[in-house]
Amino acid sequence: MGCCGDSENNSCSYNLFSYFGEQTDEMASLEQEIRQNKFENSHVKAILNVLFTGHWLHNRISAVLKPFGLTHEQFNVLRILKGSHPRSMCQKDILSRMIARSSNVTLLIRKLMEKKLVSVTQSEKDKREYVIGITPKGLGMLAMVAEDFETHDTGRSKLTKAENTELNRLLDKMRET
């Protein structure tokens, strides 16, 4: 008997959210993971699958970052700074490139500065502005995290290069306005 008294297809929406937090080694089909066999249409199923898989991936990446004392947002800032290295960047430019643009960049930078992973200096062009750069320790941290990503399952080994290209194309298309 399902949570809504539906013994046939367990189609209540409660299942999706009650099983979102579970993390298993082997990922089954969406239907098996959320114990729901029917969806309104293929679009609804695709949206739920993207959300569920995003949560799954977030948990996997968290497991890699945790031993390094990094959050997703801090890791994102370090990767952005590495991409502009050796040039420094202002906070506004970092924020515009963030995955989670609602992040408190000032707090993120402060935490990374305390860990000596970034440096903050006054801009030579505009004395009211500060620029942030990644330190050698920050670059080393990213290299160690990259090594750890190689040993953890983040789904990368399951897709071919062509499948990754197609997935990126479809996700970009989904976000088109």
Q: How many residues in total does the chain contain?
A: 177
Residue 99 pLDDT exceeds 70: yes
Q: What pLDDT digit, counting tens, does each position of 25-49 carry?
A: 455 788 888 888 888 998 998 999 9
Q: What pLDDT digit, counting tens, does each position of 65-86 carry?
A: 999 999 999 999 999 999 999 9
Gap between the Cα atoms of 28 and 134, Å rounded = 39
Gap between the Cα atoms of 120 and 35, Å rounded = 49
Q: Picking from 59-73, 142-156, 162-176, which range would have the lowest pLDDT averaged per residue?
A: 142-156
* Strand order across the 118-122 sheet: 89-90, 130-134, 118-122
Torsion of CA 75, 79, 82, 83, to 10 degrees: -170
pLDDT value of position 6? 42
Specify the residue for token string 């997935």.
Answer: 167
pTM of the model: 0.76
pLDDT value of position 128? 84
User: With contact defined as beta carbons under 8 Å apart, do 95 and 54 qualify?
Assistant: no
Residue 17 pLDDT exceeds 90: no
CA triple 145-114-59, angle to 5 deg: 35
Can you list the domains of the chain with their CATH numbers?
Answer: 1-68 (no CATH), 69-148 (1.10.10.10)
